[in-house]
Every structure is written in C-alpha cells, then in structure tokens.
Amino acid sequence: MNAIFNNKFATLFTVLGALLVLVAPQYLKNYGIYLLTYWLIFIIATMGLNLTIGYAGQKSLGHAAFFGIGAYTVAIMMKAGISFWLGLPAAALLCFAIGLILGFPALRVQTIYLAFATLGFNTAVWLVMRNEEWLTGGTFGINNIARPVIFGYSLEANRPYYYFVLAVTLVLAGLLWGLLRSPWGKAFKALRDNPIRAESLGVDIRNYTLLSFAIGAVYAGVAGALFASLVQFIEPAPFAVGASIMMYLMVVVGGAGYFLGPVIGAAVGVVLPEWLRDVPGVANWYLPLFGAAVVLLMIWLPDGLLSIPDRIKAKRAARAASAARTAAASRIGASS
C-alpha cells in the first residue's frame, strides 16, 4: 500500500513540477523567468554536488570553484570570439580534468579534513580569478557576455534562454539518473556506505573517488557556463567559499542522496529568499528569517526536506510493528 501511495505522490509531484517549469514562464514577467532560470542553474550545480556528497560520500566545500571555472572559461572564450557551443564543452572538460586532480587529496583524507582541503582549493581558484587581471578582468569582472545563438535563433531574450537552460537541466538530470542506476551508481553508493567493504567486493575505490569529484565538477562547470550567460557579467565574488557553503547547504536541505534533493534545495536557497522579500511585514527581515528557517530545518530534518516521506513511512512502519507487538503480546498473554 505504501508503494501505491508513493507512486501516486511521485506522479502528482512530477506532473505539477512539469506544469510549473513548462507552463509557468508563459505567465511570468522577466523577473520571474530570470529567477526560475537562476534556480535551474543551481539545480544543475547542486546535482553534481549531490553526486559527490550524497551518493559518493565525499565532503566537498570547493564546488563554487568549478562553478567559477565553468563561468570564466565560457566568458573568456566568448570574449576571444569563440562560440558558446565550443566554450560549453571546453568548460565541462576543464572541470572534469581539474575535478580529477582535486579528487587526489580525497584518497588521503576524509570527512572534515577533506572539506578543508577543498575549501583551500576554492580559495586558491578565487584568488586567481581576482588577481590575474590580464585573464579574468580581476575585480572589474567580465561584462557584456553574450547569450548563445542556436541554429540561427537567438536566445538573447529571457524566455528562450530559460527553455534552453531547462532543456540542458533535463538532459543532465537524465544522464545522472542513468548513471545512478548503472553499476557506477551502485559503486558510488557502496563507496559512501562502507569503503572497505566496497573494496573487498572489487570496487576500485581510487577510481570511483576521483570520478565522483570529476563528474560533480562537470555539472558545476556547465552550470557556471550557463550562469555567465544568464547574468552576462561575472566577477570573482559569486565563486568564493561562501557560495560553496551555500551549495552544500542546498544539497543538505533538499536531502543529500535523494535524486530530487537539488530541486528542492536550490528552491530553498534561491527562490525562498526572493519570495520572502515580497511577503508583507518580513521584507526588512528576509535574510534573518531565511537563516532561522534553515536552522529550524536542520534541527527537525537533518536529512533534508525529501526525507519527510521516508520519515512518515518509518513512523508508520514503527506504529504497525508496535501494534503487531502489542497484539502478539496480548495473544501470548491470552494463551498462557
């Protein structure tokens, strides 16, 4: 019965979600569309981080660095006159390579120490972005980044660009879905749950650790490339350590290790603060309120918002078990 309930819930959820992302933009003005696009981009970025953190169990606080590398790669290449369609794969490839390299410390250190190592990496990348003015424009940033043209059709306006980002999000989500259901996905989860046991079963820990960083980085890189084109201006600030922590927060709030976690997490991180702005009475307090909401969430739902159905299920199972126990006890009592 639980399975049926869950299926119905999942179908409803999917239909409503599809309606929201496909139809809603027709009725929204520029700001709404911009915000939705921002949300999609953070879904892509946090999908990658969810793979690294939620599925492979590696603590990474350097995700914004890949986000930035992707953004700067596309921006710099487009300024040099190279097409967005070459810049995007280049950004993905570069992030894959750097992600592999960043994976190496993860072979030596784990948990909080790994988080510090990746944090250091993020700071180093940020310093390069800020100080290598000849390449990155330094603190002046790179302005007037164009939006791509697809088959002669310009994505310059907000709505076409939104649908483009939506398409990319769906393709990447599909790829991740496939990956997680493949033997690779099982290997990632085995790595998270118990690395020693995984190795004893023939999972090459080293390769999968490196891959979990590299694939996660590719998602961040693609998201960064889309971000540069969305805002059309980049500077080092959005790629600093604070942004990495924010992305980590999105993954955890949504539910690390849940496939749809990033969708919810990015909504909490991107859309919720913007929505709170417009709620009468809290407009001046929207940031403290947001902070308080996150604290409360973490206290009540340390496994994220998507753990709610599982919790309900667990509670129901517990109740059923306890009822069965009572019944059994009374039966035994009656018989004796």
We find the least distance from the C-beta atom of residue 58 to another protein, in angstroms, to be: 28
Q: Is 14 in the site for another protein (CB under 8 A)?
A: no
Q: Interaction with another protein in 30-49: which residues (CB under 8 A)?
A: 30-32, 34-35, 38
Two structure tokens written together for 166: 């939506």
Distance separating alpha carbons of residues 79 and 137, to the nearest angstrom: 11
Distance separating alpha carbons of residues 89 and 193, to the nearest angstrom: 32
Query: In this complex, which beta carbon is closest to another protein, that of residue 35 or of residue 175?
Result: 35
Query: In this complex, which beta carbon is closest to another protein, that of residue 145 or of residue 214?
Result: 145
Q: Is 163 in the site for another protein (CB under 8 A)?
A: no
Distance separating alpha carbons of residues 41 and 48, to the nearest angstrom: 11
Query: Which amino acid belongs to residue 101?
Result: I
Sign of CA dihedral 20, 25, 26, 31: positive
Q: Interaction with another protein in 67-126: which residues (CB under 8 A)?
A: none
Binding piece for another protein, criterion CB under 8 A, among 83-91, 138-146, 162-170, 315-323: 138-146
Q: Is 139 in the site for another protein (CB under 8 A)?
A: yes
- Whose tokens are 């990033």? That residue is 262
Phi-psi region of 81 (alpha: psi -120 to 50; beta: other; left: phi over 0): left
Two structure tokens written together for 330: 């009374």
Query: Mask: binding to another protein, 256-285, rule CB under 8 A, as x and -?
Result: ------------------x--x-----x--
Two structure tokens written together for 153: 């059709």
We find the least distance from the C-beta atom of residue 177 to another protein, in angstroms, to be: 24
* Residues forming a β-bridge with 154: 149
* 284: DSSP letter: G
Residues lying near another protein in the complex (CB under 8 A) are found at 12, 15-16, 19-20, 23-24, 27, 29-32, 34-35, 38, 130, 138-141, 143-144, 158, 227, 230-233, 235, 237-238, 274, 277, 283, 286-287
